[in-house]
Each structure stands twice: as structure tokens, then as C-alpha cells.
Structure 1
Amino acid sequence: MTELPNFDKLKWLAENDPDKLDELQKTLCKEAIDCCPESSKKQLISMLYHLQQQLSRCSNPYHRCYLASSIMYDKFIALNTILNNPQEFRQQKAKILLLPAKKPVD
């Protein structure tokens, strides 16, 4: 498994070689997901993809940090709710909305 460099090295990469830092991040994420049980991998890959899509819209490193922190906080809140109220979670049902049929255009 790839070793995470120290803070100073990560800071240097961020300032001088952001492409290499991005490559390191992708490598570490892939290795972390590969170490997980098969039952969790699809969900983790989906979560990583969602995070990458959200982070790609950020304009600066502070925005990326805030957004990543916010997404993680939301996931922890959801997990806390599931752990503390499993019955309520299991009773949730999706509401299916029927869309009106399109009327033919004359």
C-alpha cells in the first residue's frame, strides 16, 4: 500500500506539482477501496465518484476542503440516524409520482 507523505511533502506537491498530488490521491483512494469487502466496494466507488464530481466544481482549495468536510458530515449524520433509529430507516418508502401523459401536438 502506498505510504502517505508527510504534511510538508503534501504541501510542496500542492504548490508545485498538483497533478502528482491528484495522482497520489487517486492511488490512495483506489487502494483503500480495494481493501474493503466486496459488499461495500460499489457503494464506495459511487461515493468517490460523487465526491470527485462535486470537488471538480470548486474554485480553490478552501472551497474543496469545506465541501469535502460538508459531504462527510452529511454522511455521518445519515449513518448516525440509521444506527440510532434502524426501524425508522427500514420503514422509509419511496414515493412514486405519476407524470401526466403527454398530449399530442396538433
Structure 2
Amino acid sequence: MDTLPNFDDMAKMAKEDPEQFEQLRQQLIENAINQAHENMKPRLKAQQSHIDLVISRGKNPLHTTMLLRNELQRQLVRFAETLQHPYSQENAEITPISSHPKQSENTDKNSF
């Protein structure tokens, strides 16, 4: 794809033709991964797979956005911890998403 549709066109596509929107999304992701260095492609594919798993848990667009926001926040905290303690064994472990505690609806409003 040479040019990306504008936001309004993409929002209309997502609402009126979600299959076409998903196809566009997947194509853009694939293009971005294919442009990456060969050493990064497996990590990018794994990260995208994880993102797709988070998205699949969403009940509606707002819920999906909140799940993605929470996941990004979790990863940023982990990244900060790794920067502060780069040789910690805890930072070397990868925790599968299925074992993360579910966030309650009474999440602290003052966090990120």
C-alpha cells in the first residue's frame, strides 16, 4: 500500500467493513515487520502475536483500548525495572499473559 487512508476513512471502514479494516491492519503490520532488520523480525512477530492476543480478549473497542493501555503500562514498568536493575534474574523471566492477575474495576485511578 502506497498511501494510508486518512483517519476518517479508516474509522468509516472499521465501522462499515470490519473485515476490510482488519485486512488493511494486518497488511500494514506485515509491511512494517518486513522492513525491519532480520534479527528483529522474530521478536516483532512475537510482540504482534501478543498484541493480537490482548485484542482478542476485548469485548468492545473501549475495552480493547483499555486492555492495550494496561499491557503497555505493564511493559513500560518492566522496562523501567530492567533499566534500573539490568542484571536482576526477575527481569530475565517472561511471564505468559495467561498468568497475569486480572485487573479489577477498582484500579487505582492515580496510576499512569
TM-score of Structure 1 vs Structure 2, range by shorter chain? 0.7 to 0.9
Structure 2, gaps ≥5 residues long: 95-112
What is aligned with 1:100? none
Instruction: List, as ranges, runs of 4+ consecutive aligned residues in structure 1 with deviation greater than 6 Å.
Output: none
Report the structure number with the largest CA radius of gyration. 1
What is aligned with 1:8? 8
Instruction: Give the counterpart letter for 1:32 in structure 2.
Output: A
What is aligned with 1:54? 54
Matched, 1:88 2:88: yes
C-alpha RMSD over aligned residues: 2.4
Structure 1, gaps ≥5 residues long: 95-106
Paired residues for 1:1-106 under 5 Å: 2-88=2-88
Question: TM-score with structure 2 length normalisation?
Answer: 0.69
Question: TM-score with structure 1 length normalisation?
Answer: 0.73
Instruction: Give the counterpart letter for 2:28 in structure 1.
Output: L
Q: Which structure exhibits the higher relative contact order, with contacts defined as CA atoms closer than 8 Å and separated by 6 or more residues? A: 1
Whole-angstrom distance in 1 between the partners of 2:77 and 2:91: 18
Indicate the SS of the match to 1:59: coil
Whole-angstrom distance in 1 between the partners of 2:6 and 2:40: 29
What is aligned with 2:101? none
Whole-angstrom distance in 2 between the partners of 1:87 and 1:22: 40
Shift of 1:61: 0.6
Whole-angstrom distance in 2 between the partners of 1:20 and 1:76: 32
